[in-house]
Amino acid sequence: MLTRSFAGVLACLLALAGCSATRATDRTVILSTADGDRTTHVHHPDNAPAGAPLVIVLHGAGGSGTQVEADLGWDALADRSGFVVAYPDGLDGAWNGGGCCGQARSRGVDDVGFLAALAGRIAAEDRTDPRRVYAVGFSNGAILAYAWACGRPGELAGIGPVAGAVLVPCPAPAPLTVVAVHGNADDRVPFGGGAGAGGAQYPTVDGSLAPFLAADGCSPAPVLTDDPPATVGIWTCTSGFRVVRDVIAEGGHAWPGAGPEAGTSDRPLDATGFLWARLTEP
């Protein structure tokens, strides 16, 4: 009769999965950085195989990883779809994505470097696919997702900024998929650009998308689909990636669909499900 431990080892060998005595599970990961110890909660579903995608969810200013894990439905979506999701915490509740916000920016915190190291750590421990790392975020977290794509070209397969903008130089991003969700009545990160949260000057949503449209070799104008109160624009691109813009009419500074039903559909008013579907569709 096989012992339980030997049976586990044998199962790993039979699966040709690069066996280890234990597999990664839900846990808090602590990374030591020049800016101090950084904490992240990782949700690793039982059905997430070796080579699964990794989604890194970035909270807004004043938020936390715990808050977005509870509010945005990514854990349940990961359970259904078999990917790993991580919820890092910004220092003092904020991220340095350039231009805004809080002490993270004023202290020059290297949040992009932290996220790159975090993705590497999770790839090693959870055996996620380093070619399928997606950064999604709200507001200040969306600003950081853009900054990561701009600052370290080639590390991300896609980003899903909700109510965010590019606030760093972005001369030559690598091709990747971008799915931007934004309310056209947002007064914190204005859809049409201008002064907003943290005293920053924001580009228009299309201005933020422009570097990625160029990198992806996209058509001049998107194909528009109305799904009131949303209008979805999808650009045809030569890179094999895509750029998608989900505009919520009269929508404010919010994550559409946050709450108990988040991630249960792929409609434009469910940002969680919409982002996952559009970031990963073939």
Q: pLDDT tens-digit profile of 80-137?
A: 999 999 999 999 999 999 988 888 888 899 999 999 999 999 999 999 999 999 999 9
pLDDT at 14: 33
Residue 177 lies in a domain: yes
**Residue, of 257 and 23, whose pLDDT is higher:** 257
C-alpha 95/C-alpha 218 separation (Å) is: 30
Residue 3 lies in a domain: no
pLDDT at 5: 36
Residue 6 lies in a domain: no
Domain CATH number, residue 208: 3.40.50.1820
**How many domains does the structure of the chain reveal?**
1
User: Is the model's pLDDT at 20 over the cut of 90?
Assistant: no
Residue 7 lies in a domain: no
What is the average pLDDT score of the chain? 92
Residue 163 lies in a domain: yes
Residue 176 lies in a domain: yes
Residue 137 lies in a domain: yes
SS (H, E, C) 150-172: HHCCCCCCEEEEECCCCCCCCCC
- At 143-194, the pLDDT tens digits run 999 999 999 999 999 999 999 999 999 999 999 999 999 999 999 999 999 9
Whether the CB-CB separation of 30 and 39 falls below 8 Å is answered with yes
User: What tokens were used for 144?
Assistant: 């950081």
In sequence order, what are the beta bridge partners of 244? 179, 234
The candidate with the shortest Cα–Cα distance to 250, out of 191, 209, 194, 198, is 191
Residue 225 lies in a domain: yes
Domain residues for the domain of 136 are: 16-280
